Amino acid sequence: MSRLLRPAFLPLAVVASAVACTGRGSPVVSTPAEPSVMILVLDGVRSEEFTSDSRVSDLTGETGEAYASQTWATLGPHMATLRAATNAGVTITAGGHAQMVTSRLDPYANFPESDGPGLYRPEYPTIFEELRGQLGLDSTQAQFLGNTELLQGEVQSIQPGSADVAGAYTLLYDPSKPNAPINDDTPMATAVENAVKTDRPRLLVANFHDVDRAGHYGAGNAYIDDVKKLDGLLPQLWDWLGKNDPGYRDNLLLIITADHGRHRHDEDNGWHNHGDSCNGCRQIPLMILGPGVTPGAELAGNWTLLDFAPTLAAHLGIDLPWAQGLPIDEVVSNGLTRSGDVGLSADGTAWTHYLDDDFARDQVVVDGAVVSTEGAMFAEGVRAAGIVTNTGGSAGRYACWRELNIDETQLYWPWSPSCRIDTGSGFVDSGFAETEVGLNWAPTVVQSGSTLWAVYNHNPDGIGELGNSNEVGLRAASWSPTTGWGTPVQSPQLFPTDPVAIPTATGLLAAVGTNLDGDSARNTRRVRVLPLIVRSDGATASWGPAVDIDLADVLDSARVERPALHQRSDGTIELAVVATTATENVVALLQSTDGGASFGPATIVSTDPALPQLSPQFSGDDLLWAALSPSGDSELCTLHGATATCKDVRSARLDSYSALTSAAIIDTGTAEWAKTSL
């Protein structure tokens, strides 16, 4: 999106070491240090158990400030506090940490695969990669410590050109149970001390995960007892830093927070669980100490997990070109603004407009008018296009988006969907067939006969909903201006993403990214193609048999996602996908001559590494995709016949593009967009 972070100041020079002695004879490092940052994550701790000054915990009978009394007595005079910050995304451990380290909303929950290509990695670069790549630091200077296997994939993205951060994540094991994470948060505090003593890391993220385990599985008072344990560990760690390395602490920006909260109602076994859009799940404690912080201040604003990485980047003096969040302006001041139009539709029908406001961060514009709810915290994800009929003509236009509204009077804060459809006499506010949607919801609207169908994924919480295999729905719903939306037709899929569809003689043909049944590893992602058979009444339908596209014939252990579909004038159906292996990011093209019932061998059409966060698009019979150029900038590539050419867009970042017949509207994410000839 539109923030490109520039250094707030030049790093302090490293000076020669000086060592003094305490009364106990322990060495104290008094050397001034370069700016460093640390995030201590109290996994799953609610604000009412740690920071609230008015909300009383239903478990402790006290406010958070009263219950976390040691933290407030020791750190309170030094810290600025936001009593309840926000997790606007998936309120699960991996999704919350992905927001912190990439400053992007990740639509998924945990993928607990252990190693190798099984790890499900973010699409956008992490601050670990940016820090190591821009400052040339080794693995000791950008560390992630955890006592959970859920976070091993959150340090290294699949973004081409990113720095190698192998070894950045350290999993603390239980010495009495080989290959099991340690079931105690005290060793995590010791590990933080050891990392500082040994390495003085510029970036250190530490996840205290046992408190969340206690919340889920612990008996009796296990959760609040673990919160109380953390209340003792944090002051000890702060005092240790001051006694053993005051130079490091003086230049350390320290954030103490949670990745998610917990239920504060009686639903779903009450406080034991989390993961949906409940306000207790979204609200998290936030305490900040260090340079730029006003001691004892109450932070104004509605800051989120997305804002941590931009704030840390400004303190460290590095760029964070893909950041979706805002630097916390009461902590760092770098003169940046957040504005611009992104996600532009090809005909200029709709786009997302970013606002430099942490309470209302963006809005959706359709035909020049703001259509999203005034004051919505987020309004984004525009998908807008002409509706293509069976004969290839345009039957109208549509624009769909999702938004998040924060309302303290409501128990749930879901992302809600909206659509507007133009049937020839202007846009009609059509609403949508669902009331809650997920972070990658972006329906494709297609005309079959005289009926419009929206094809979309249904995954509001980023986790499974349809049984033990974590399946959620690929859905299709019909719409008419007189009857509205029909009952959705569902095909269970595992983590479905980026569905697209085209009309056929019998209804629609859809393609969606999904996983093998019962598996959530990166290397089992594939694209599934399946028909929607529309019955004679035009408003009812059923899903037909699926064809899986895994590219095993050309790539080994590939993550295959982001499909695009097109039907040529001779009836041939073309399918383009983005595939990622441990070493490659490619675009592959497949063809079907039997209406999508089968596809021939895949052909890799890209030469430069494809950008994994952007789907290919068809413009007529030409194929477009985004890639990383040899110069390190983004580029748009087009396949015309058998010839592929690429055009550098002269930006490190390409956040969206829309295909035209002979050009593309591009958005570099820096408040700039242009029409470029291809």
DSSP 103: S
Give the pLDDT mean for 119-142.
92
Distance in angstroms (rounded) separating the CA atoms of residues 259 and 250: 26
Ordered by start, the domain boundaries in the chain are 19-316, 611-678
Phi, psi of 313 (to 5 degrees): -65, -40
Between 46 and 319, where is the model more confident?
Answer: 46
User: Is the pLDDT assigned to residue 395 strictly greater than 60?
Assistant: no
Residue 610 contacts residue 160 (beta carbons within 8 Å): yes
Note the pLDDT tens digit of each residue in 404-414: 999 989 999 99
Q: Are 4 and 655 in contact (CB under 8 A)?
A: no
According to DSSP, residue 610 is labeled B
pLDDT band at 396 (very low <50, low <70, confident <90, very high): confident
Residue 418: count of CB within 10 angstroms of its CB: 20
Distance (Å, whole) CA 678 – CA 672: 18
- What distance in Å separates the CA atoms of residue 245 and residue 106, rounded to the nearest whole number? 36
What is the rounded distance in angstroms from the CA atom of residue 600 to the CA atom of residue 143? 45
State pLDDT tens for residues 166-196.
Answer: 889 999 999 888 788 999 999 999 999 999 9
Q: Which residues contact 393 (CB under 8 A, 6 or more apart)?
A: none
Q: Which of 106-115, 136-145, 230-239, 485-494 has the lowest mean pLDDT?
A: 106-115
CA–CA separation, 286 and 51 (whole Å): 8
> Would you put residue 385 in left (φ > 0), alpha (ψ -120 to 50) or beta?
beta
Which one has a higher pLDDT value, 627 or 31?
A: 627
Q: What's residue 307's pLDDT? A: 95
pLDDT digits (tens, 9 = 90+) for 54-81: 999 999 999 999 999 999 999 999 999 9
- The CA distance from 93 to 126, in Å, is 16
pLDDT at 628 (0 to 100): 95
Q: What SS3 class is residue 238?
A: helix
Determine contact, residues 671/661, Cβ cutoff 8 Å: no
| CB proximity list for 176: less than 8 A, separation 6 or greater | none
Q: What is the pLDDT of residue 669?
A: 64
Q: Provide the CATH number for the domain formed by 19-316 in this structure.
A: 3.40.720.10
The C-alpha atoms of residue 72 and residue 65 are separated, in whole angstroms, by 7
Task: Supply the pLDDT for residue 14.
Answer: 26
- Of 11-15, 128-132, 138-142, the range with the lowest mean pLDDT is 11-15
**Span 215-244, average pLDDT:** 95
Which amino acid belongs to residue 378?
F
Pairing assessment for the beta strands 350-354 and 673-677 based on DSSP bridges: unpaired
pLDDT at 471: 67
Mean pLDDT of the chain: 87
Q: What is the DSSP letter of 671?
A: S
Query: Of 47-61, 87-101, 511-525, 612-626, which gets the smallest average pLDDT?
Result: 511-525
Quick one: CA dihedral 210, 215, 221, 224, positive or negative?
A: positive
DSSP character for 289?
E
Query: DSSP alpha helices (H): ranges in 270-396?
Result: 279-282, 308-316
634 has pLDDT over 70: yes
User: Are residues 268 and 403 in contact, defined by beta-carbon separation less than 8 angstroms?
Assistant: no
b/e per residue 294-306 (b: at least 16 CB within 10 A): eeeeebeebbbbb
Whether 464 shows a pLDDT value over 90: the answer reads no
Q: Give CA separation, 565 vs 11, 165, 336, 598, 612, in Å.
A: 49, 35, 39, 14, 17
Q: Measuring CA to CA, how many Å separate 382 from each of 344, 368, 372? A: 8, 14, 11
Q: Which residue has the higher pLDDT, 387 or 533?
A: 533
* 348/408 Cα distance (integer angstroms): 36
- Partners of residue 48 on adjacent β-strands: none
Structural element, H or E, at residue 96: helix 93-102
What is the pLDDT averaged over residues 335-353?
A: 74
Residue 18's pLDDT is 29
Q: What's the average model confidence in pLDDT over 23-33?
A: 55
Q: What does the alpha-carbon distance between residue 615 and residue 529 come to, in Å, rounded to a whole number?
A: 16
pLDDT of residue 344: 76
Is the pLDDT assigned to residue 37 strictly greater than 80?
Answer: yes
Contact 262, 59 (CB under 8 A): no
Q: What is the pLDDT of residue 134?
A: 94
Position 532 pLDDT exceeds 70: yes
Q: Can you list the alpha helix ranges (DSSP code H) found in 12-111?
A: 64-67, 69-74, 93-102
Give me the pLDDT at residue 449, please.
85
> What is the distance between the alpha carbons of residues 86 and 161, in angstroms, rounded to a whole number?
31
Report the range out of 92-101, 321-330, 351-360, 463-472 with the highest average pLDDT: 92-101
Tens digit of each residue's pLDDT (9 = 90 or more) over 413-440: 999 999 999 877 788 899 999 999 998 8
Q: What mean pLDDT do residues 261-290 have? A: 89
Cα 41 to its chain centre, rounded Å, is 18
